[in-house]
Amino acid sequence: MKEQIIIAGSGGQGVLTLGIFIARVAVYENKNAAWLPSYGAEKRGGFSFCSLVISDEEIFSPVVETADTLIAFDQRALDSYVQRTSKKTLVIENSSLILHDNINADKKILIPASDMAKNLDASKVANIIMAGAYIGIRKLFSQESARVVIQDMLGSKAGKLIEKNLSAFEQGFDFAGK
């Protein structure tokens, strides 16, 4: 298998962390993964982007030209990366912050991740909700691996935070299953 993902949004939304999270789930399942962020004068509210290549084989280029999956956190991100999609691209949109799209893709999932995160009283977990949706719909990786990586990445931090992220993940996962 080879999966090429583009994740885009704004600084502070957890775009890069989402990319690292999916990469680590892939690595946990013994895949190769290469994660590449945009970098430079990044700041909260500024543009944020990362690409991710996952493969059973050696990864030659970590640069993603046409995405198998595009995960867009807001309108600007979606509009900027339309040209890096094809009809076959799976598009996951944070519909809380995306009002319209002109993407011609077979598979689209519109998930109000920011609103769902607010309902969980944790606006920062919108990215983990998106992760749940991704893993739920793409079916490349198991829910169990994701749970292990969530706990591993949060590490020794408060158990409550882990619980919150696990339930955020589940909400996204269940949403994708509907």
Partner 1 sequence: MTSDNKKAFIKGNHAVVEAALDAGCRFYAGYPITPQNEIPEFMSKRMPEVGGTFIQAESELISVNMVFGAVAAGARAMTTSSSPGISLMQEGISYMAGCELPGVLVNVMRGGPGLGNIQPSQSDYFQAVKPGHGDFRMITLAPSSIQEMYDLTFDAFDLADKYRNPVMILADGLLGQLMENVELKRDRKPLYLNTPKPWALTGAKGRDGQRILSLLMQPGVLEKHNFKLKEKYDLITKTEKRFELSGMENNPDYLIAAFGTVGRISKGTIRLLKQDGINTGLFRPITVWPYPYEALKEAAKNVKKIFVFEMNLGQMVEDVRLAVEDSSKIEFYGRPGGGVPTAEELYNFIKGKVG
Q: Tokens for 119? A: 């309902």
Q: Nearer to partner 1 by C-beta: 83 or 102?
A: 83
Q: Which residue has the tokens 């020794």?
A: 156
Q: Is residue 177 part of the contact set for partner 1 (CB under 8 A)?
A: no
**C-beta of 89 vs 96, nearer to partner 1:** 89
The residue range among 16-24, 70-78, 83-91, 95-103 that interacts with partner 1, by the rule CB under 8 A, is: 16-24
Q: What is the DSSP string of 96-118?
A: TS--------SEEEEE-HHHHHH
Q: Which is nearer to partner 1, 111 or 150 (CB)?
A: 150
Distance CA 20, CA 26 (A): 10
Nearest approach in angstroms of CB 36 to partner 1 is 5
Binding to partner 1 in span 24-63, by CB under 8 A: 24, 27, 32-37, 39-40, 58-63
d(CA 107, CA 117): 23
Residues that bind partner 1 (CB under 8 A): 20, 23-24, 27, 32-37, 39-40, 58-63, 65
